[in-house]
Structure 1
Amino acid sequence: MPDTKKGEAFAKLVLRVWRDPDFKARLFKDPMPLLAEYGVETPPGLKVKVVENEPGTIHLVLPSAPAKVSQQQEEPVYTIQCAVCHSRDSCLTHHS
């Protein structure tokens, strides 16, 4: 699915969360079926934990460390990308 379609699918899911408290509770409890229902693809075996930003606070999610990172390593081993950059409040990587 192209990134635009992924973004649209995620935006529809977020709108539903904002409008429907029961749906939101289900998303927090068991996100995988609801993500799939909205066309948000996840790799097999991936675990998803849902967190919610609050006004004035965002969650900074650090990536897992790769298997081999030396104490002397100075160059990054990955590139930061937004999976879905749907608002300034949820993304620090593309907004200043």
Structure 2
Amino acid sequence: MTNEEKQKTTSRIIAKAWADDAFKARLLADPIAVLRAEGVEVPAGITFKVVEDSATVQTLVLPPKPADLSDEDLDKVAGGAGVWCMFCVMCL
């Protein structure tokens, strides 16, 4: 799956959660089952945590630092050159 396809899938799942309270409840309770049902391939050993932001609570996700990231690469990411999505762990 390309990054563009992952972003489209992520957007579709978010929109569905906004529109369907029962779907959102399932996504929060059992994200792996819901993602797989939506056609997302989740590798064995991967865990997903889905959290819902609000007007007063925001989530900041710190992805794992790649072992082979140079200072130049870090500067690019810090400058906004990186694109992150809910499937980033699968992009590594």
Deviation at 1:17, TM superposition (A): 0.2
Instruction: Identify the residue that residue 89 of structure 2 maps to in structure 1.
Output: none
Task: Output the amino acid matched with 1:4.
Answer: E
The TM-score normalised by the length of structure 2 is 0.64
Compare CA radii of gyration and give the structure with the larger one. 1
What is the aligned residue count? 77
Q: Identity of counterpart residues, as a percentage?
A: 35
Which structure has more helix as a fraction of its residues?
2
Task: Output the amino acid matched with 2:4.
Answer: T
Runs of 4+ in 1 over 3 A off after TM superposition: 63-66, 78-81
Mark the runs of 5 or more structure 2 residues left unpaired by the alignment: 87-92
Task: Output the amino acid matched with 1:83.
Answer: C
Distance (Å, rounded) in 1 between the aligned partners of 2:47 and 2:21: 23
1:61-80 per-residue CA deviation (whole Å, 9 max, x = no partner) reads 234578x9xxxxxx6xx766
Task: Output the amino acid matched with 2:22.
Answer: D
Contact 1:12–1:38 (CA under 8 A) maintained in structure 2: no
Mark the runs of 5 or more structure 1 residues left unpaired by the alignment: 69-74, 85-96
The TM-score normalised by the length of structure 1 is 0.62
Contact 2:10–2:85 (CA under 8 A) maintained in structure 1: no
